[in-house]
Amino acid sequence: MTKRAYFLPMHHVVLIVYPGFELLDASGPASVFNSANRALCQQGRAPFYAVDLVSAGGGPVDSSSGIAVDTTAISALAPGCAQTVLIAGAEREHLLPAMADPVLGAALPGLVAGARRFGSVCSGGFILAALGLLDGRRVATHWDSCEPLARRFPGITVDPDALYVVDGRLWTSAGVTTGIDMALAMIARDLDAAIAGAVAKRLILYARRPGYQSQFSPILTAQVQADSPFADLIGWIQSNLDEPLDVPSLAGRAGLSERTFHRKFVAATGETPARFVETARLTAARLLLSRGLSLKLVAGRVGLFPTARLSEAFARRFGITPALFREMHTEL
């Protein structure tokens, strides 16, 4: 069998799939890398990525959505040809056979050892963990898989909050759309932030989400939990962070007495109004700071003015000053 090889400057991305895999876990990153090639070509530069969908035996592989993808057999890959190796996730009934697949079990450790980076999207981390490739590492996975992964593999530190985690050569994401976020971060590191931004714009993404961002925004969590009147109020809060958002003001908008509003809001969202508002403001502040905005401007936009108020709340919640956070996370 002919071994497939790629030559510089092509960066070979291998996406491992198996019967029943989550289609978006593979197609999302694949689209991102191929969009990066298009952005490079539009600048008169050579394409950088070569993307392969790879499976144990090659040929058509059915995803959980019923769409089959054509794949290369893992045995057809030339030794050392893969620079990035990522494995897609799946639901438990499809994941367990993949974890026990002898072909993947025999080939993956060597493939990973020769790669510049490796990792997983969603629950694909279970397959790497079963091979001992995540021992002693910090990882992300889908929120529904965090507890099972930590329980089954106690030598792994599971971050239940992050969209994706980078631990040396290891890159792991929370799954589904977060595989797109992680792939964009890889492009920013491989090429530059401008190319990553062009890809995000082409794919019509609302924003490039950093890995530290929670899998659940406080707004989404509350909208899911709250009844319809509070869902509307929460949307208004998000759009008006610079307004007075104390209990009297919010209770008035909800048409409730202050006592009734406070009781019902806590019951619906699990947080006091004050805690919820502060969380929403600090979440927005992190996003604005990552864009390099001044502390004064951020404080005004999120309703935590003057800047000393922003700094105190930010440091109390995150254990870091907003100035240092901006320095660490500003997009280039």
Q: Using CA atoms, how far apart are residues 79 and 317, in angstroms rounded to an integer?
A: 47
Give the pLDDT confidence score for residue 331 in this predicted structure.
53
Torsion of CA 133, 134, 140, 142, to 10 degrees: 60
Say if CB 162 and CB 8 are below 8 A apart: no
Give the pLDDT confidence score for residue 79 in this predicted structure.
83
Nearest alpha-carbon partner for 208 in 216, 199, 217: 199
Report how far Cα 132 is from the mean position of its chain's Cα atoms: 23
Q: Using CA atoms, how far apart are residues 214 and 235, in angstroms rounded to an integer?
A: 18
Cis peptide before 306 (omega within 30 of 0): yes
What is the residue type of 299? A
Per-residue pLDDT tens digits of the chain, which is 332 residues long: 455 544 445 899 999 999 999 999 999 999 999 999 999 999 999 999 999 999 999 999 999 999 999 999 999 998 888 999 999 999 999 999 999 999 999 999 999 999 999 999 999 999 999 999 999 998 988 888 888 999 999 999 988 777 888 888 999 998 778 888 889 889 988 998 788 888 887 876 644 455 444 544 555 455 545 445 688 888 889 889 999 999 999 999 999 999 999 999 888 887 899 999 998 899 889 888 888 899 999 999 999 999 999 999 988 877 678 888 787 666 54
For the chain, the structural domain boundaries read 11-202, 218-329
Give the pLDDT confidence score for residue 229 in this predicted structure.
67
Give the pLDDT confidence score for residue 214 in this predicted structure.
52
- Which helix (H) or strand (E) covers residue 128, if one does? helix 125-130
Say if CB 3 and CB 78 are below 8 A apart: yes
1 CB-near residues (< 8 Å, 6+ apart): 73, 75, 76
Percentages (nearest 5) of helix, strand, coil residues in the chain: 50, 15, 35
What architecture (CATH level 2) is domain 11-202? Answer: 3-Layer(aba) Sandwich (3.40)
What architecture (CATH level 2) is domain 218-329? Answer: Orthogonal Bundle (1.10)
